[in-house]
Amino acid sequence: MAEVYNWQLKRKMEFPYEESRPQRQIAYVFDTNKCIACQTCTVACKTTWTSGKGQENMFWNNVETKPYGGYPQQWDLNLLRQLNGQKWNKASETYEGKTIFEDVPEGETVNGWRPKERDYAYPNMGEDECAGIVEKGAFFTGIHSIWMFYLARICNHCTFPGCLAACPRKAIYKRPEDGIVLIDQSRCRGYRECVKACPYKKTFFNMVTRVSEKCIGCYPLVEKGEQPRCVQTCIGKIRMQGFISRHDQPRRDNPIDQIVRIKKLALPLYPQYGTEPNVYYVPPIHVPREFLYQLFGPGVDNAIETYRNIRDDKELLAAFLLFGNSPKIIHSYKTDGSYAIGYDEKGNVVTRVPFTEPIYVRPYYDDKVKSFRHNTP
Amino acid sequence: MPLAAAAVIFSGCQKAGPQFIENEVVSVAVKEIPFRDVNSQLWSSAPVTRVKMLPQNVIPPHNTHPSIDEVQVRSVHASGWIAFLLEWNDSTRNAIVDADRFVDQVAIQLPLDPKNPQNYMMGNKGGRVHIIHWKAIWQDDIELGYRDVQHAHPNYWVDMYHFHEQPLYAEGEFPQEPYTEQFKTPEELNYMPGLYARNPVSVLNRTEPVEEAMAEGFGTFTTHPKQNARGWGKWENGKWRVIIARPLISDDANDAPLADTTSIAFAVWNGEFQNVGARKHYAPWMNLIVK
């Protein structure tokens, strides 16, 4: 075991390989508050990559309803149960518990569990189920007495991937040019150690090719400067993909850095697992804090406070306005107070988004077509 | 071996039952190789080596639930071929894969350099071994057709697969899910990445249930470009009997030479207990004597 630094845990941890960060790291920000679980991302991914024979039960992207939903079922609860002592020091925000590489059963490389085939059978079980029962006669008084939220999930392209650590054949690799984690389809022999090890259960076994597959970060798009399919197609504009700078070298003009590193508004999912995941979530603001601490770590209070006050922070707000407004990867941005302007890697403008959408008022009667305008319900 | 000596062993075995030996495998000459007949009388001419199997717990991932403690091995040779009959008790026949389903397997291992024994755990860097690996699912692929989604899930249904044109079916006729062998165009195969990448695990038209490979240590299992070995397996009454055969003298440089005395090692997997890869039972080198 080597010793590596995990910035999300604010401490060193054990990992089977030496620390080797890519030249740049793919990263995503998902705003859970804006997701409506329309599953457009899921379908975009499914039709693009996993509609072949043997991929029937495979969803590289899925959206599940928390607290009860999960694909595969109980993907999170099963590991939480077997990973003991997940303790955070809230003052220093240091993780004092053990990661999946440190709390390892005898004879294993990673603390994992293998889903059963049935666990993949109901990809959206628990959809729209709330955390409690609505009392008879209850009505909304301004405070939500019960709650639920949608959690969109893809491969986290972790800096310290559990799948990669567990593969006895070294068939899984992390690309140095963008940090995307891939399974070599010609080298994998279908042992499913990665399926067992990935804490997010985002590697899948293909029973026709008899080898494992996973989200490829839409690398053909990323290579030509475009954001992945799940990001481009998101109708709620909840997603942005870019590259996150090293933890000690944040750039203010990188929208991902601005949100994740500088304002710390988006947080990794289950950072206590220790894989340094690279999908960052804006926590759902109406969900009980204890639940959120478990999901996103000790930064939740700050993230929600910042989110509630985002209108006062033009620099941060500008980064959010860029979501879903260009298929291109935005490497840098700036704002003049009226517009958020996004640039590609070469410095070309790829999007200009106004802070306030212009309002056009059209007369009730249209002289050109000699007809009244109606709002048709 | 002189013919007369073989005849003595042959007749002796028939009268006294199998001759059991330990710590070495002795291959005896017979008139022909029973390539696909696990019940052939020809096997009874060979002494039975009782090979004690150990759970792999040297390097993770371990086999933490050992379930097979012995494999019985016989070997015969004839007409330029050598064959091994491997028998072990396994009350469950596991021959299909899914997320949580694993298959029964067995393998033999031979050193490339018999004089300088390599690490018995799949060799070592610079010390290459030759592995011949049989899998139950490959056996069924050949005997019953490629083990497909519909074999694991008979009632499954998919509306369409991209670029695959479903044959028309008559009204009232229940449409059938297509078999993977029917996917042939590059567009169809695009959605089967392992096939597209020509992964040696993703082979639709396998003709032998065995695969030959080389290795120089854990995690280095690499399929031979040229496949010379043959095999056959049968599960009956809670017992697997598997034949693995290869040419006695091979012109394939990747094949281990079979000198008068070399070494042989074994591995066996029980799919029921999720044995796969390094989660196996093994037996270290023992002498292989070709008489």
Distance separating alpha carbons of residues A184 and A306, to the nearest angstrom: 41
Predicted local distance difference test score (pLDDT) of residue B189: 85
Distance separating alpha carbons of residues A26 and A240, to the nearest angstrom: 11
Mean pLDDT over each residue of chain B, to the nearest integer: 92
Indicate the pLDDT class of residue B176, thresholds 50, 70 and 90. Answer: confident
CB B132 within 8 A of CB B212: yes
Asked whether the beta carbons of residue B276 and residue A210 sit closer than 8 angstroms, the reply is no
Asked whether the beta carbons of residue A186 and residue B149 sit closer than 8 angstroms, the reply is no
Asked whether the beta carbons of residue A56 and residue B156 sit closer than 8 angstroms, the reply is yes
Predicted local distance difference test score (pLDDT) of residue B8: 43
Considering only the beta carbons, identify the residue of A50, A106, A209 that sits closest to B194. A209
Distance separating alpha carbons of residues B80 and B290, to the nearest angstrom: 12
ipTM: 0.91
Distance separating alpha carbons of residues A337 and B37, to the nearest angstrom: 82
B223 to chain A, any CB pair closer than 8 A? The answer is: no
B150 to chain A, any CB pair closer than 8 A? The answer is: no
Rounded to a whole number of angstroms, the distance from the CA of B185 to the nearest CA of chain A is 13
**Mean pLDDT over residues B22-28, rounded?**
94
Q: At what angle do helices A300-308 and A289-296 cross, to 10 degrees?
A: 110
Q: pLDDT tens digit string along B110-151?
A: 999 999 879 999 999 999 999 999 999 999 999 999 999 999
Distance separating alpha carbons of residues A17 and A250, to the nearest angstrom: 25
Distance separating alpha carbons of residues A82 and A103, to the nearest angstrom: 9
Indicate the pLDDT class of residue B12, thresholds 50, 70 and 90. Answer: very low
Indicate the pLDDT class of residue B1, thresholds 50, 70 and 90. Answer: very low
Chain B residues with CB under 8 Å of A203 CB are: none
B117 to chain A, any CB pair closer than 8 A? The answer is: no
Predicted local distance difference test score (pLDDT) of residue A376: 67
Helices vs. strands in chain A: H and E counts, helices first: 10, 19
Q: What percent of chain B has pLDDT over 70?
A: 95
Tokens of B278: 């390094």
Give the contacts of B105 (CB within 8 A, at least 6 positions apart).
Answer: B133, B134, B135, B136, B267, B268, B269, B271, B275, B280
Q: Which residues of A331-358 are buried (b: 16+ CB within 10 A; e: fewer)?
A: bbbebeeeebbbbbeeeeebbebeeeee
Tokens of B253: 């440089």
CB B54 within 8 A of CB B282: yes
Q: The whole model's pTM is what?
A: 0.93
Q: pLDDT tens digit string along B212-224?
A: 999 999 999 999 9
Closest to A214 in 3D by CA, of A147, A153, A144: A153
A215 to chain B, any CB pair closer than 8 A? The answer is: no
Asked whether the beta carbons of residue A205 and residue B98 sit closer than 8 angstroms, the reply is yes
Considering only the beta carbons, identify the residue of B149, B162, B278 that sits closest to A208. B149
Distance separating alpha carbons of residues B51 and A159, to the nearest angstrom: 44
Considering only the beta carbons, identify the residue of B152, B158, B274 that sits closest to A207. B152
**Mean pLDDT over residues B50-75, rounded?**
97
Going from the first residue of chain A to its last (377 residues), give the mean pLDDT of each consecutive group of 10, the final group possibly shorter. Answer: 97 97 97 97 96 94 95 95 90 96 96 95 88 84 85 98 98 98 98 98 97 98 98 98 97 98 98 98 95 96 97 96 97 95 98 94 91 79
Q: How many CA atoms lie within 13 A of B19 on its CB side?
A: 18
Chain A residues with CB under 8 Å of B64 CB are: 106-107
